[in-house]
A = this chain, B = another copy of it.
Amino acid sequence: MIIILKQNASKEDADNILDEIEKTGLKPLFLPGVERIVIGAIGDERLLNEKQFENFPQVDQVKPVLSPYKLVSREFNNGNTIVKIGDVAIGGKEFVTIAGPCAVENTLQMNRSANVVKKAGARILRGGAFKPRTSPYSFQGLGLEGLKILAAAAKEHGLPSVTEVVEVNDIDAVEQYSDAFQVGARNMQNFRLLTELGQRRKPVILKRGFAAKVEDLLLAAEYIVAEGNPNVILCERGIRTFETCTRNTLDLNAVPYLKTKSHLPVIVDPSHGTGLRDLVAPMAFAAAACGADGLIIEVHPDPKSALSDGMQSLYPEQFATMMQDLNKFVLAANRTML
Contact = CB atoms under 8 A, between A and B. Distances in A.
Contacts of A285: 289-290, 332-333
Given A289-B289, A290-B285, A192 B213 contact: no
Interface string A23-39: 00000010111111010
A289 B291 contact: no
A34 B40 CA distance: 12
A167 B193 CA distance: 9
Contact of A43 (B34, B140, B169, B325): B34
Given A190-B187, A216-B134, A282 B306 contact: no
B135 A222 contact: yes
Interface string A163-186: 000111100000000000000001
Stoichiometry (number of copies):
4
Interface string A225-257: 010000000000001111111100111111111
B253 A279 contact: yes
A282 B266 CA distance: 14
A57 to B, nearest CB: 7
A144 interface: no
A302 to B, nearest CB: 9
A66 interface: yes
Interface residues of A, number: 107
B243 A213 contact: yes
A203 interface: no
Contacts of A132: 189-191
B135 A219 contact: yes
Interface stretch (A45-53, A85-93, A116-124): A45-53
Contact of A68 (B137, B195, B282, B311): B137
A279 B251 contact: no
A106 interface: no
Contact of A54 (B31, B166, B222, B310): B310
Contacts of A36: 65-66
A138 to B, nearest CB: 6
A8 to B, nearest CB: 10
A322 to B, nearest CB: 12
Interface in A290-311: 290-291, 303-308, 310-311
A308 to B, nearest CB: 8
Interface in A44-76: 44, 46, 49-50, 52, 54-57, 63, 65-66, 68-69, 75
Contacts of A112: none
Given A136-B191, A239-B243, 8 more contacts: A33-B42, A35-B65, A56-B304, A166-B191, A167-B168, A242-B242, A289-B289, A332-B332
Interface of A: 2, 4, 7, 29, 31-36, 38, 40, 42-44, 46, 49-50, 52, 54-57, 63, 65-66, 68-69, 75, 132-140, 166-169, 186-187, 189-192, 195, 209-211, 213-216, 219, 222-223, 226, 239-246, 249-257, 260, 273-274, 276, 278-279, 282-283, 285-291, 303-308, 310-311, 313, 325, 328-329, 331-333
